[in-house]
Amino acid sequence: MNFLTFKGGIHPPDSKSATSTKAIETMKAPKEVIIPLHQHIGAPCQPTVNPKDEVKVGQMIGEPQGFVSAPIHASVSGTVKEVAIKPIGGGRNVQCVVIESDGLDEIHPDIQPYGSIESMDEKQIIEMVQKAGMVGMGGATFPTHVKLSPPPEKPIETIIINGAECEPYLTADYRLMLEDPETLVLGLKIIMKSVGAKQGMIGIEANKKDAIDKVLKVIHEKEPIHVVALQTKYPQGAEKQLIEACTKRQVPSGGLPMDVGVVVNNVGSAYQIAKTYQTGMPLIERITTVTGSCIAEPKNLKVKIGTSIKELVEFCGGYTKTPGKIIFGGPMMGMAQDSDEYPIEKGTSGVLIFDENEAVIPDPVNCIRCSKCIEICPIYLMPVTISEYSLADRMPDAERYNALDCIECGSCSYICPSKRPLLQSIRVAKSTIMAERKKQEK
């Protein structure tokens, strides 16, 4: 098989063996869930419930504000205990609905399957996606219905399902592709119909050969759907790199996938869209990988949104040693958390727990100008130069070197023999430049 890829990138150890053979387990609803009303990029939701209200599974508890927003639903049935601002992952303080579960998981009566896909038109599908509170489940959490509503001058030809799962440790997407490829492909077909796309692609890295085979088996020959075998390389699952590998087209600098006629969806998102279509149930649970050297029994879990990290860890046999770092997502792009009491959100693709040794931040030494970061940057930036300008507070120069094009994949920091905080300083440059632009617009 001919494996496709992009230029640049790195080969971190994949560390997936702890969970790659573990079938997805469903975790029972916890006694209490904390559901943040802001789990997406865009405007936060307004609560539609009050303390002491009874709620059922799938009931909307947060109403979206504006187009770029996504509703929030109850993941358990029970009583609303509290509607209050609480600290959640990523150092944010967000209004949350705390629901005490009655343990019955009673489904809201409005939750009904959506007839047949043939009878639904584009508008109805997008409305279904919007009502389900769908967001990019790979971690970006951009509202899916917005992606599926491009302006008329940008027709979408191709839908790509991102099954690269190039982040080390994570295996949730892989297990999903192995265990239920039919539903995944159904999800792809629904998305294709929603934008009138002519072809669908499922990009899977070569280290998941069995997933490639499984997905291939459920695709009929006549269908305009292809499985694209990708080289195992990080960041193969980054949107621009995935699009280039699959279609040979580069998304323009500052542009969006729709500029080259493509929409990319994560495996988890496509699966959830199919599930919503089959059952009517909005996005209230997700599959996430709980792993790392501190976890007694690493697992792939189907969990209710709002379950705390702590409960996940307990379900996986608890901590085997003192945790040093808790990460939402993978080790390359995931976000470190300061407590294990935070809830799982729509975009939490993994919970990775490092011990104290793995958590140590290496001491940076002088840059030796080896130019490895330039060789591997998948956007062809000069990370060392942008970083130097950022650290010297010369932001206009950092901007001139295209700091804003950085996709924050972290390959530069990973490869650096001097352990320089390259991405960290580029992030500082990006946010400073953006803040300056906003100021100028005013």
Partner 1 sequence: MEEKLIVSSSPHIRDDNSVSKVMGDVVIALIPATLGAVYFFRTRAAILILVAVITAVLAEAAIQKLRKQPVTVSDMSAVVTGLLIALNLSPAVSWWLPAIGSVFAIVVVKQIFGGLGKNFMNPALAARILLTLSWTERMTEWVSPGVDMVSAATPLSFVKGEVAVPAGAPSLFDAFIGNIGGCMGETSALLLLIGGAYLVYRKVISIHIPAVYIGTVALLTLLNSGFNVEYMAYHVVSGGLMIGAIYMATDYASSPLTTEGKVIYAVGCGVLTATIRIFGGYAEGVGFSILLMNVATPLIDRYTAPAIYGEVKKQNA
Cβ proximity to partner 1: between 27 and 243 the closer is 243
How far, in Å, are 113, 187, 221, 262 from residue 265 at the CA level?
22, 10, 22, 10
Of 189, 238, 184, nearest to 214 by C-alpha is 184
Cβ proximity to partner 1: between 190 and 376 the closer is 376
37: CB partners within 8 A, 6+ apart: 44, 45, 46, 47, 61, 62, 72, 94, 95, 96, 97
Question: CA 403, CA 390: separation in Å to the nearest integer?
Answer: 9
Q: Per rule CB under 8 A, is residue 214 in the interface with partner 1?
A: no
Q: Per rule CB under 8 A, is residue 335 in the interface with partner 1?
A: yes
How far, in Å, are 51, 137, 303, 355, 382 from residue 145 at the CA level?
30, 13, 23, 39, 35
Of 224, 277, 276, 270, nearest to 116 by C-alpha is 277
**Residues 64-123 contacting partner 1, CB under 8 A:** 91
Smallest distance from partner 1 to CB 58, Å: 32
Size of the site for partner 1 (CB under 8 A): 68
Q: Per rule CB under 8 A, is residue 359 in the interface with partner 1?
A: yes
Q: Find the binder of partner 1 among 87, 397, 405, 433 (CB under 8 A).
A: 405
Stretch that binds partner 1, among 104-112, 171-179, 220-228, 413-421 (CB under 8 A): 413-421
Sign of CA dihedral 379, 385, 389, 390: positive
Cβ proximity to partner 1: between 277 and 401 the closer is 401
Token reading at 316:
């996986």
Q: Find the binder of partner 1 among 33, 96, 264, 416 (CB under 8 A).
A: 416
Q: Per rule CB under 8 A, is residue 283 in the interface with partner 1?
A: no
Smallest distance from partner 1 to CB 239, Å: 12
Q: b vs e for 305-324, b when ≥16 Cβ sit within 10 Å of the residue's Cβ?
A: bbbbbbbbbebbeebeeebb
Q: Per rule CB under 8 A, is residue 253 in the interface with partner 1?
A: yes
Q: Per rule CB under 8 A, is residue 333 in the interface with partner 1?
A: yes
How far, in Å, are 99, 231, 245, 267 from residue 174 at the CA level?
31, 15, 19, 9
Cα torsion 235, 240, 242, 246 to 10°: value is -150
Q: Find the binder of partner 1 among 336, 391, 397, 432 (CB under 8 A).
A: 336
Tell how strand 54-55 and strand 335-337 pair up.
unpaired
Stretch that binds partner 1, among 116-124, 143-151, 319-327, 429-437 (CB under 8 A): 319-327
Please confirm whether the linkage preceding 235 is cis (ω < 30° from 0).
Answer: yes
Where do the DSSP E strands lie in 89-173? 92-101, 158-163
Stretch that binds partner 1, among 47-55, 149-157, 272-280, 406-414 (CB under 8 A): 406-414
> What single DSSP character describes residue 297?
S
Strand, coil or helix: what is 136?
coil
Cβ proximity to partner 1: between 161 and 333 the closer is 333
Give strand pairing partners of 95: 85
Of 288, 340, 36, 310, nearest to 171 by C-alpha is 288
Q: Find the binder of partner 1 among 43, 385, 391, 433 (CB under 8 A).
A: 385
Q: Find the binder of partner 1 among 22, 28, 131, 427 (CB under 8 A).
A: 427
Q: Per rule CB under 8 A, is residue 325 in the interface with partner 1?
A: yes
Stretch that binds partner 1, among 44-52, 218-226, 299-307, 359-367 (CB under 8 A): 359-367
Stretch that binds partner 1, among 31-39, 295-303, 377-385, 430-438 (CB under 8 A): 377-385
Centroid of chain to Cα 84: 26
Q: Per rule CB under 8 A, is residue 44 in the interface with partner 1?
A: no
Stretch that binds partner 1, among 30-38, 108-116, 274-282, 330-338 (CB under 8 A): 330-338
Q: b vs e for 281-295, b when ≥16 Cβ sit within 10 Å of the residue's Cβ?
A: bbbbbbbbbbbbbbb
Q: Per rule CB under 8 A, is residue 366 in the interface with partner 1?
A: yes
Q: Per rule CB under 8 A, is residue 424 in the interface with partner 1?
A: yes
Smallest distance from partner 1 to CB 25, Å: 25
Q: Find the binder of partner 1 among 85, 104, 360, 434 (CB under 8 A).
A: 360
Strand, coil or helix: what is 35?
strand
Stretch that binds partner 1, among 23-31, 97-105, 125-133, 419-427 (CB under 8 A): 419-427
**Residues 54-73 contacting partner 1, CB under 8 A:** none
Span between the terminal Cα atoms of the chain, in Å: 54
Using CB under 8 A as the criterion, which residues of the chain lie in contact with partner 1 when the complex forms?
10, 12, 91, 168, 240, 250-255, 322-327, 331-341, 352, 354, 358-362, 365-371, 374-375, 378-382, 384-385, 401-402, 405, 408, 410-411, 413-419, 421, 423-424, 427
